[in-house]
Structures are given as C-alpha cells and as structure tokens.
Amino acid sequence: MTTRCGYVALLGRPNVGKSTLLNALVGEHLAIVTHKAQTTRHRINGIVNREQGQAVFVDTPGFHRRRDHALNRRLNRIASDTRLGVDVTVMLVDATRMTDEDRLVLDLMAAQDGPKILAFNKIDQLDDRAVLLERTAELAATVDFDAVVYLSATRGEGLEDLLDEVFRCLPEGDPIFDADLFTDRSERFLAAEMIREQLMLQLHQEIPYGLTVEIEQFERTRTRVEISGLILVASERHKGMVIGRGGQVLKRVGSRARRRIAELLGEKVHLELHVKVRAGWMDDDGALDELGYSS
C-alpha cells in the first residue's frame, strides 16, 4: 500500500484554537492551552499516524500586530518561517468572528506555495451557520484553497474531514518518525510548557507575557522523576505576584503542573519551582536564543 507523509503547518491568529486542534489530532495534551493570547511561543510538532501514512502537524505562535518587544517580533518570525519547507498549510479561522489579524494570515497564505486548506474552527459556537458560506466565499476569493473544512476542535467534530484532506494533499513517502511517538519535543521541554501553562492560567494582567520557564534538573530515580524548574520574570514586582502571599500562588501552580506532567509521563513526579528576576529578557536577543525562542 502506498503511504503518504509530510509536514502540515497550522497557521492562524492568536486564540483561533491551533493548540487545541493539535492536541485533539494527536490525542495528547501536547500544546498548552489558555484563553490568553500568545500562549503558544514555540514551534511544536505533533505526529499523527494513520493507515494512509504519517502527518506531522506543526503548531505555531499566532500572528499578531504587537511589536513592542523583541519576543513579539520573534514569535511572528517563528510562525512565518514555519511556512517554509512544509508540504501542506492549514489556515485556521475562528468561525464566530474575523479580525484584521486574520487578514494578515490570509496575505501570507496567498503567497504560500503548495496545497492549502481552509479550516473554520468553533462552528459549535456559531448560531447561524449560513454565515460560514459568506466567509468561505470571502476568503476563497483571495486564496485558491484546495479544500475547506468545518470543525470544532474542543468537541472533536470535523477532525476526520480535516485528516482526509490533509492526507489527500501529502506527498507519497515513508514515515519520518517512529510510530510510537506523538512529538519530537523532549520531556524537559514539555515539562517547562506544563509549568508555563499553569502560570498563565493562575496569573492575570500583563505578568504571563513577562515570564518564561527553564528546566534546571530532569532526572529519573528508581521511584519517580525529579524536576527542578526556574521561573524567570522581568521585575521584582512580577516575582512577588508569581510567589503570592505566603507562597500560595507558586504552591498552586506547582501542584497543578506536577499533576499535568505526571499524567503526560505516566510516572510519579516530584517538582520544585524557583523564581528569579531577569530584567529585560523579552528584549534581549541573546537571552531569547538561550531560552529556546528560535524557529
């Protein structure tokens, strides 16, 4: 039987559901999900194996217009660079509303080579689905999409339709990764992301954008996985907010992140968290390289 294999980029503005879709396709909590914009900061590969072959979905940061920090500019570059070298590109759109940032993604899609798929997400939240026909026609007038699908990533609706179209567009080839893998990212990376997810869920205001997480220790013993995580913040004020009164915020983040990591690894986990101020890291290209913010 002929098999197909290749890379599939998921592009879209912030909060259209790219990470939720990736998790639903892979069947694992691979990419972190929150209601805050710019939750995704890295290129993350999720591997889907089917009888037809292997599709490697690439989740990307959402395209946005903020340019106030080097980090924001770099996230846009990571998303843009992901378009290069993929076999299929999927533009994900929130079916409930269009924004100027969707137009930014549409312009990139118009210049993109190779097969292109338009996917409307969150159709379960749409009262009048007739609106989809208007929006489909509007976007298709700008870009010659090879297919259009309608789905709800949170409900798992339309996923098979998307996969059918993706595999139809992928080139023939042998699998790139072993069949038992769901990502090529390391366990250290995934642990750091689980910690950052809980920080973004527990904290408010501007603080989630001013922090990042490094894993200083990741070691397996006979009985559990020992993890030490360092939370970097941009100011002393942010450090106090992350720790919280009596250390309650940090304890809550640690407890919930530990459960997430243990569930992902299928092992007992001991997690220690520390907070350190590193002023200006969001505008320091050297620091961004060191922290893994690269395409």
Domain at 193, CATH number: 3.30.300.20
Give the span between the Cα atoms of 48 and 27, in whole angstroms. Answer: 9
Single residue among 135, 169, 203 that ends a domain in this structure: 169
- The share of the chain scoring above pLDDT 70, in percent, equals 86
For residues 158 and 196, state if they share a domain.
Answer: no
Is 205 among the domain residues?
yes
10, 135: one domain: yes
Mean pLDDT rounded to a whole number for the chain: 88
Is residue 137 domain-shared with residue 204, that is, in the same domain? no
Mean pLDDT of 193-201: 91
**Do residues 152 and 62 both lie within one domain?**
yes
Residues 55 and 145 in one domain: yes
How many angstroms separate the CA atoms of 232 and 212, rounded? 5
Rounded mean pLDDT of 219-223? 96
pLDDT tens digits, one per residue of 62-109:
654 555 567 667 666 665 666 667 999 999 999 999 898 899 889 989
Same domain, 132 and 33: yes
pLDDT for 69 equals 65
Average pLDDT over residues 20-39: 81
Range of the domain at 203: 187-290
Q: Which residue has the higher pLDDT, 263 or 287?
A: 263
Same domain, 105 and 232: no
Question: Is 90 exceeded by the pLDDT of residue 161?
Answer: yes
Q: Into how many domains does the chain fold?
A: 2
Do 194 and 151 share a domain, yes or no?
no
Least confident of 23-27, 39-43, 107-111, 114-118: 39-43
Domain CATH code at residue 48: 3.40.50.300
Output the pLDDT for position 108. Answer: 87
CA atoms within 13 A on the CB side of 90: 36
Of residues 232 and 204, more confidently modeled: 232
pLDDT at 209 over 80: no
pLDDT of residue 33: 72
Mean pLDDT of 19-45: 80
Whether residue 147 is predicted with pLDDT greater than 90 in this model: the reply is: yes
Q: Are residues 126 and 221 part of one domain?
A: no
